[in-house]
Amino acid sequence: WSNYKAVPVFVDKQLNQDSYNLYCNNILWPLLHSFDNLINNESKFQAYKEYNKLFCDRILEVAEENDVIWVHDYHLMLLPKMIKERKNVKVAFFLHTPFPSGEVFCNLPNSKDILKGLLLADKIGFHLPEYKSQFIDACKTCLSINDFIKNKEGNQSLPTNAAKETNQKNNSNKPMKQVNKSTNEVKEKSDDSLKVTKLCDSNFYNTVKGIRYSPSCIETFKKVSLSSIPIGIDPNMFREVLKKDKVQKRINELKNIFKNKKVILGVDRTDYIKGMPHRMKCYEKYLSKYKNNSTVYIQIAVPSRMDLFEYNKLVTDIKLYSTGINNDTGINNNKVLLYNKSVDFDELCALYSLADALLITSLRDGMNLVALEYIACQENKKGVLILSKFAGAVDTLPGCITVNPWSFEEVADKINGALSMNENEKSRRYSINKINIDKFTAVNWAKKNLEVLFK
């Protein structure tokens, strides 16, 4: 720790299998993306608890009083509660996936345990207001705290038993908080006898809402800040790579290979949330409808979680779809170039720079930073971003063309529109997106999260 500012957490092989693979990736991942039909019924929640406790024990070996601990993602949703119960430190949590509706989330056994694990954090962060709102919905549904919701005017009500206790202690029915509409700030009246705080909403869009939550009993309320702050990238890292001589050489090689071709690019992990089979069908529809022989679709499909059945099947399906399209177009005119492997960073940036369009057809995606990376590499060509409306990045990149990946005809039409777009319109859309990726970087995202934590 003193030398590297990092501490390894060693996880037993079987525990890692049961917690990381079978619970996190086989249960929580599909659930959080609203693919609840893919959830494996075998519960490994006990392993998930042990996994979180391992991290807690290791953190507390080095953490000191008044330190700040920032926990990331669905693998460690019990960790905030575990830490707070044992040490006086600030704990923030950020979820990098979507959050499903309360109705979907509460179907999960132990959903209450997970929510309570999160609600002892001082701050919980999400990428989008939608995810945050659905988290609130889950709290209302799973924990039966509907009466703790405060409306936009600042009025609020306590559950019957809580209100009764409040009146007994304070002999007053006055509301404890008021909202100043002109500043969107919540002002609290002094009430030392009843230590009730709020689950407040301090976010990227500067709106004010609130929940009040009791983790154990009516008398002990906990303040939790909710934020919705979309993550970014470091665009300059990509731009610097494009300046390298060997990358420029590779770009020129690719231009010669695909001379007189319009290049459509896809870059994904092989995950069902990415909608790659849908993308293949959309491209096939485009080819049949517009009879365009001057396009090629390059798909980088990086293998992921291959020890799980759904992911193995997906790789097979993608290969079958691409082979089918190429069989129809002929051996000398392959339309789909599929790479079932990762590519190095230089090659990736060269492909981003080459592509006339990037096609993203996610069925559900927390953000999708590939979209931002593509924009960072498009200063010269100003290619067109075609982005699923179900990807979180769609709010960050208003210059994109949005599509519904379930409508193959719509996507085919949008592909045609992107490839035939005039230079002025491409430049206009690119400029809008460039402003946002430069403004909302990963560093600024981190700073904003910490600002919310310390408010």
The predicted structure's pLDDT at residue 332: 66
Does pLDDT of 173 surpass 90? no
Is residue 213 included in any domain, yes or no? yes
pLDDT digits (tens, 9 = 90+) for 390-412: 999 999 999 999 999 999 999 99
Q: Do both 203 and 254 map to the same domain?
A: no
Does pLDDT of 174 surpass 50? no
Residue with tokens 């890292």: 237
Is residue 287 included in any domain, yes or no? yes
Is residue 383 included in any domain, yes or no? yes
Q: Do both 426 and 287 map to the same domain?
A: yes
Q: String of b and e for 345-357 (b: at least 16 CB within 10 Å)?
A: eeebbbbbbbbbb
Q: Do both 290 and 156 map to the same domain?
A: no
Is residue 42 included in any domain, yes or no? no
Is residue 305 included in any domain, yes or no? yes
pLDDT band at 3 (very low <50, low <70, confident <90, very high): confident
pLDDT digits (tens, 9 = 90+) for 239-265: 999 999 999 999 999 999 999 999 999
Cα–Cα distance measured from residue 158 to residue 172, given in angstroms and rounded to the nearest whole number: 13
Query: Which range, of 3-17, 212-226, 286-300, 339-353, averages the lowest pLDDT?
Result: 212-226
pTM of the model: 0.84
How many domains, in total, are found in the chain?
A: 2
The predicted structure's pLDDT at residue 309: 83
Is residue 52 included in any domain, yes or no? no
Query: Which range, of 48-57, 120-129, 161-170, 342-351, averages the lowest pLDDT?
Result: 161-170
Q: Do both 371 and 224 map to the same domain?
A: no
Q: What is the 3-state secondary structure (H, E, C) of 296-361?
A: EEEEEEECCCCCCHHHHHHHHHHHHHHHHHHHHHCCCCCCEEEECCCCCHHHHHHHHHHCCEEEEC
Average pLDDT (446-452) is 92
Q: Do both 222 and 340 map to the same domain?
A: no
Q: Which of 311, 326, 248 is nearest to 276 (CA)?
A: 311
pLDDT digits (tens, 9 = 90+) for 266-296: 999 999 999 999 999 999 999 999 988 899 9
pLDDT band at 29 (very low <50, low <70, confident <90, very high): very high
Q: Which domain holds residue 175?
A: 65-231+443-453
Q: Do both 221 and 277 map to the same domain?
A: no
pLDDT digits (tens, 9 = 90+) for 297-332: 999 999 998 888 889 999 999 999 999 998 887 766
Does pLDDT of 148 surpass 80? no
Q: Do both 125 and 221 map to the same domain?
A: yes
Q: Do both 328 and 287 map to the same domain?
A: yes
Q: Which of 246, 259, 228, 274 is nearest to 369 (CA)?
A: 274
Q: Do both 241 and 194 map to the same domain?
A: no
